[in-house]
Amino acid sequence: ADTSHNSEAYDRFIAPHLDPVSRHYWERRNWRGRRRIEVFDHNFYQTGLLGLFIAMGHRVGKFFGVDPAGIMQASNIGEQRRFFNEELAPVFEKPLLKWATSRKASLFGLGIPPAQYDSLITSGDGTMASVLKARLEKLACDFPLNTNYFAWQAFARRYPEPGEAALPAYLEKRNYKVIRDNIDRVAINHTNLIEFLAGKDAGAVDRFILLDAQDWMTDDQLNALWAEITRTASAGARVIFRTAAEPSLLPGRVSNSLLDQWSYEAEASRDFSARDRSAIYGGFHLYVKR
């Protein structure tokens, strides 16, 4: 993510294999005359909407006299907890911060649209500042820094160097050959998931990963999606997804005739939620086809 010759590698090894639309995207120049691909020559993780949001969070902390990166000096969870309680937690009591986070647009940088904002604010004391404080507390205090690369992104604004701490599995050097050797098993489809599933045979799919997209779906969209998931799911098929709020959003919104064909694994879902190191989401949910 921070290697000066990345754009040169793109020119030599990647660009010749790209379609014209993709090449135009990556080679388009900004007002400084730099090509878009050159963001990879520097710290790529400090770019984009999320990167800018994290940068703003650090600026806000420093405005109130706290450097969030200071937690990276902690050597154990106890020290992480102490830093959070003494340095970070008081920031969320500041009236200015409470006012700013009460505006829905304030969380666009986290990829949270108004519908998710409304779901998030149902937890805690009804203020977004309290929700953000609880989520940041989990990120800062519930997992050792050497195993939580999400915390590295938030507090150090980068991923660990080799040997510093754990990386996502797909970025670990030891896994590179496995990924490369199996790349032909991956198919990428830019399409509506409901339409994509409509082209599948009944009972042909055994795993579904929905991320958090359902949070801003209408009831009609949810029912259309789960109708296709239910039709194409094999016996024992598993569906996982996250939600901004803690509970599953499906009961009361997806028809009973569909949900009755699925078993909600409540205990496993609570366990997975507790183990979710990103700390952004309120709930992680698992459904298994009966």
- The pLDDT value recorded for residue 236 is 98
- Looking at the predicted structure, is the pLDDT value of residue 109 above 70? no
Q: Is residue 176 part of a domain?
A: no
Q: Which two tokens stand for residue 286?
A: 């698992």
Same domain, 209 and 154: no
Same domain, 32 and 17: yes
The total number of structural domains that make up the chain: 3
Same domain, 103 and 146: yes
Q: Is residue 58 part of a domain?
A: yes
- Looking at the predicted structure, is the pLDDT value of residue 144 above 80? yes
CA distances from 27 to 33, 156, 182, 273, 280 (A): 10, 29, 28, 40, 33
- Looking at the predicted structure, is the pLDDT value of residue 161 above 80? yes
Q: Is residue 182 part of a domain?
A: no
Same domain, 55 and 160: yes
Q: Is residue 180 part of a domain?
A: no
Q: Is residue 276 part of a domain?
A: yes
Same domain, 77 and 151: yes
Q: Is residue 172 part of a domain?
A: no
- Looking at the predicted structure, is the pLDDT value of residue 290 above 80? yes
Same domain, 206 and 222: yes
Same domain, 136 and 94: yes
- The pLDDT value recorded for residue 125 is 66
Q: Which two tokens stand for residue 210?
A: 């929905």
Average pLDDT over residues 85-102: 94
Same domain, 52 and 147: yes
- Which domain does 128 fall in, by range? 48-167
Angular region, 252: left φ>0, alpha ψ -120 to 50, beta rest: left
Q: Which of 107, 132, 167 is the last residue of a domain?
A: 167
Same domain, 53 and 27: no
- The pLDDT value recorded for residue 281 is 87
Q: Which two tokens stand for residue 156?
A: 């150090």
103 or 269, greater pLDDT: 269
Q: Tell me the per-residue pLDDT of 114-136, one tens digit each, with 9 for 90 and over.
A: 777 777 776 656 788 998 999 99
Q: Is residue 177 part of a domain?
A: no
Q: Tell me the per-residue pLDDT of 225-269, one tens digit each, with 9 for 90 and over.
A: 999 999 999 999 999 999 988 899 999 999 999 999 999 999 999
Same domain, 64 and 141: yes
pTM attached to this predicted model = 0.85
Q: Is residue 179 part of a domain?
A: no
For 157, the 3-state DSSP assignment is: coil
